[in-house]
Structure 1
């Protein structure tokens, strides 16, 4: 009998130990690691990592690093365009994963957001393999994405049009959207490439402002890499940094699209994770209200102090997608709430998170533009966060950001959300200079013709520069803006200028000889800005002389920005690209990676390499 009871006790203890062991193994752990290429050991950013047979996933950051909550025994699926998909069983909480090149895999699947889809269901073009290169297949399905069409800026003769005027642009949405296309095995549409947004995605080593002006100006001139006979003028604008503790209190309204089109994993689920990261960054003096819109608009959370972050996060976690998209009504409601909670001398801002697919009430870009313009003088800024693919309406969200005294970012993964809402928190959400515009006067004695690279949607009339009622772009704390002009020097023959018959009623030759000066200056750069609480602008002015600096002796800022601009020209199939190749861009960018605090320049090089395979 004693033996039987002893056996029962031993059996119970063994069962208990087995149960505890199984319970421990079922608990989720934070699994961290790094993804590298098997070929050269380089880190791989943008790798999709999901737990097999689930929709739980993440994306590796610019250093190839990742973290994910998983159980011991789970299988992680690592996917990246052009490389072999790898399955790794979780047996420890720190992993080093090497991905190998694979051609056959690309025939069957492409990576989309956090999940892998068969190519029959993929929105857009697919990828096939020939020899050692990749080719796009022109198989298009139900792609309803929308982009504003535009023509690239043309060369203008300095004698006829010596002034070039434009609003600065700190938006970066085009870059992360372009990255999404390439990581999914597609070359993006030409109209999706706004070169200024590619340029301004990156951090440049510009000097901080000094004195009372909130911005500094840096200029540099050298040869254009795609046409050595031409000169490239680099303009860098840097806004002052403000320490987090010195930023004014924020009155934020999260305006969230919860319509049915937001149900995909790379839409509302990613949106919720992004906003939760932002809430964790906020301080007790900051306030958040939450408005949602689908068939109807709802105020889910009145303006609430961030002392109660858990309450705010709980509302975000409760969101789900269904119904239509009454975006116009949602915008009006958000402005009313922001105005009711307005903080004088504070940061009053609406953060609109959407795929831009408005289909109820006010919905056209023209209607939305009129609505936003009426709110511009309210002192409330607008940040637009774009999400998703397949039905993404870039044209609508771009219009909202441009007309609403705000900025526009496209969130393609959690790493990008962290960049926009955490790492660049001040630049995204706190304006230090508003209505910033630039006017360049070219010296026709030195400049035969010029063209502004990018900023097509930001061009202003020359008379707008001194008109303080004309809207222009905003710069946030720590933001930088980069602009490039390609210049054809006097005496250089070019077939890019066209041929115009001599004027009948003007003596052009005499006019030219009389008007030219002997100034050594290539151009004069003027910049206007307003303090955030002022309606009167201040002006800065800098003269630029071409010192004939060779491309080998320019700064990394110049070299890298030229590489990014060249990449934009190739993606647009620009007639100005001359004989520029992807290899030229890669070589130029590799010579400019010493200043790369977040690793984004290295990620850019890998994107160029991927794009070269897709051509």
Structure 2
């Protein structure tokens, strides 16, 4: 017996020497020392087995060799491969791709070439909500700085959020007002027929300025191509739904459940949808499922309940992993994140989330953000996620808005016709003395960063964008008919990535605002309303009554949203000027 035990021990020792077990431990970081979660790791001795870096970028993998080869890949970074000593702790650094590094830089909503601003402004937090602070665009001398530009997008969250404040008899936080998003909300177009071409169309109008007699307004109306629904590519959608405790209110999770069920009705058999939730933990109650399995999809949506904390970071990573697993080449791959934005577990700062989403953006997966709630709504986070995730952003304040975004404007929200879309405007200094872009204001940190560039936006099918400049002409008597500016639109096609460029001339053929098309007058009223709500320096010469008078002459009485605008202006006047009614009563 002793002899047999000795033989077994000698055999085990020999086996251990020949096939010794080692354990590779370490951490994956980027060049700034930040941990990288979710990096794909392979060891030569493990063949095709896949491992991933976990929390804080840590990993541990068994190996049978003292020297092994490790390979690491992660979207947005250069592949890493090296021979390592398995007995030593590994601190491994991934180098960011040049394209990713460019995306990581601060990005502007608009820019004037060679202009150096020096204003300061602080981040704003209001009643538990957070909004990014902006610096309003000022007048610029065309002789010194003739070239300017702005990003295109379909974001419209600001308007419905403003409506929520006014309907609750509250003043609107200044930085919650983004005039370009207010204009986006109404889908304003000078051309009443859909654009069925494969390129953008552009209409421009020049009118008198109602608040400055010697100034004019220049309206740029760009119409995106409208896709034929019969030929749109299949969709791979992931509904990423916040089910944390803060969502347990009628205007949060129940509202989202109703909205997603409406969206699901539009899915086709060739589409796929998955559901990821986070509340206490991250779960996948619905793996990728064909769009025609509506009962199954609705059953999962109806089963959701709210509780727990908000591990938003982990949920976003899981959603991207699910989207990648069901990725459709040349398809519409998109995550739809629905939340009040109150992340409190994992990476929670706007900057950390921005960096994480920027890396994920390289995967070809779009990100749509839907905001809900009041009191702890984090507008700044959702705006950042949408812009860095190459997507769009809306705020749902009621069931009608959910239907508008997810059903009525389904194709605009879900199907992209242009990426990195950007408009460059070159003013003719012989006709224009100075100009300012209304809206498209920039974040403080982007303004302060000398390396900042304009971040082009995502444009959805059939979207109409209205941008407005206030200009000071050289001499209106001598420049009529002359060229005022040249507009250059630049964008990339979604599937091929091919760069596209279109140019449009703008002539100085002005008209009185009173005789301009109703669309132009209504757009002017919307911009004036936004300026008053945000207490703009350029709103001193008009009032809510002036906005109401102009809007009333232009409103389309068949358009529910435009009729509601009149009501909101009246509410704002009562809230912001409470003494006016009392004086009238006396």
Q: Give TM-score, length-normalised by structure 1.
A: 0.70
How far apart, CA to CA, are the structure 1 residues paired with 2:203 and 2:414? Answer: 24
Alignment map for 1:50-449 (pairs within 5 Å): 143-207=127-191, 213-449=198-434
* 2:258–2:399 contact (8 Å) kept in structure 1: yes
* Greater shift in the superposed pair: 407-416 or 340-349: 340-349
How far apart, CA to CA, are the structure 1 residues paired with 2:560 and 2:126? Answer: 35
* Greater shift in the superposed pair: 547-556 or 185-194: 547-556
**1:614 paired residue number:** 575
Gaps of 5+ in 1: 1-140, 493-516
What SS does the corresponding residue of 1:428 show, helix, strand or coil?
helix
What SS does the corresponding residue of 1:222 show, helix, strand or coil?
strand
**1:546 paired residue number:** 508
**1:478 paired residue number:** 462
**1:602 paired residue number:** 563
What SS does the corresponding residue of 1:604 show, helix, strand or coil?
helix
Alignment map for 1:445-484 (pairs within 5 Å): 445-457=430-442, 471-484=455-468
Tell me the CA shift for residue 211 of structure 1.
8.3
Q: Give TM-score, length-normalised by structure 2.
A: 0.73
Tell me the CA shift for residue 215 of structure 1.
1.6
1:588 lines up with 2:572 in the alignment:
no
Cα deviation per residue 1:456-513 (whole Å; 9 max; x = unaligned)? 138999x999x9xx74111111111111111122269xxxxxxxxxxxxxxxxxxxxx
Tell me the CA shift for residue 142 of structure 1.
9.2
How far apart, CA to CA, are the structure 2 residues paired with 1:210 and 1:305? Answer: 31
Classify 1:149/1:210 alpha carbon distance in 2 versus 1 (closer, same or farther; 3 Å).
closer
Classify 1:242/1:524 alpha carbon distance in 2 versus 1 (closer, same or farther; 3 Å).
same
Count of aligned pairs: 446
* 2:419–2:456 contact (8 Å) kept in structure 1: yes
Return the match for 2:536 from 553, 562, 574.
574
Cα deviation per residue 1:214-268 (whole Å; 9 max; x = unaligned)? 3211111111222232111101111122233332211100001111111111111
Say what the alpha-carbon RMSD is for the aligned residues. 2.4
**2:86 paired residue number:** none
Tell me the CA shift for residue 297 of structure 1.
1.0
* 1:155–1:451 contact (8 Å) kept in structure 2: yes
How far apart, CA to CA, are the structure 1 residues paired with 2:560 and 2:190? Answer: 17
Tell me the CA shift for residue 295 of structure 1.
2.6
**2:494 paired residue number:** 532
Cα deviation per residue 1:128-157 (whole Å; 9 max; x = unaligned)? xxxxxxxxxxxxx99200000112111111
How far apart, CA to CA, are the structure 2 residues paired with 1:464 and 1:436? Answer: 19
Tell me the CA shift for residue 519 of structure 1.
9.3
What SS does the corresponding residue of 1:348 show, helix, strand or coil?
strand
How far apart, CA to CA, are the structure 1 residues paired with 2:194 and 2:555? Answer: 24
**1:61 paired residue number:** none
What SS does the corresponding residue of 1:351 show, helix, strand or coil?
strand
* 1:432–1:477 contact (8 Å) kept in structure 2: yes
* 1:175–1:197 contact (8 Å) kept in structure 2: yes
Tell me the CA shift for residue 592 of structure 1.
1.7
* 2:205–2:510 contact (8 Å) kept in structure 1: no
Could you list the runs of 4 or more consecutive aligned residues of structure 1 that deviate by over 6 angstroms after TM superposition? Answer: 458-461
